[in-house]
Amino acid sequence: MRLFSKYCQLGVLLLITGPFALAETGTVSPKAASAMQVEDKAVIVDVREDDEWNAHHIPGAIHIPLGQLNERLAELEPYKNRPVIAQCQSGRRSEKAQLALMSAGFSKVYSMAGGIQAWDEQGLATE
């Protein structure tokens, strides 16, 4: 009976962590994110609010505010097996977006360290 209990616990743990265990995750610097985007090796998803996006944003980024991410996952479906870099203002919301994308089955999800603030500090282009 005790052995069965341990296997049940292991099964539950695998069900909970399964999508995360298979995912390639972490943080990337703004310069690395820029290089990956330019080389068409990743897509950047800006999870800031509309007013922040309208003030300035990374050229070529996809804008989906964090609060809308779960409802708009279908828009990111073509990138499910490609690197996706979540980006916000400072890095906090992008970490939440990273977790949401991982739990939705995206296999290569990164958070951009320092957000667009760090992007600006490194002199990278915005529009």
Catalytic (active-site) positions: 88
Q: Whole-angstrom distance between the N-terminal and C-terminal Cα of the chain?
A: 63
**Coil/strand/helix, residue 124:** coil
Please give the C-alpha separations between residue 18 and each of 34, 102, 104, 105, in angstroms, as whole numbers: 30, 10, 11, 10
Compute how many other C-beta atoms are within 10 angstroms of the C-beta atom of residue 15: 9
Q: How far apart are CA 8 and CA 43, in angstroms?
A: 38
In DSSP terms, which residues pair with 28 in a beta bridge? 112
Q: How far apart are CA 111 and CA 66, in angstroms?
A: 13
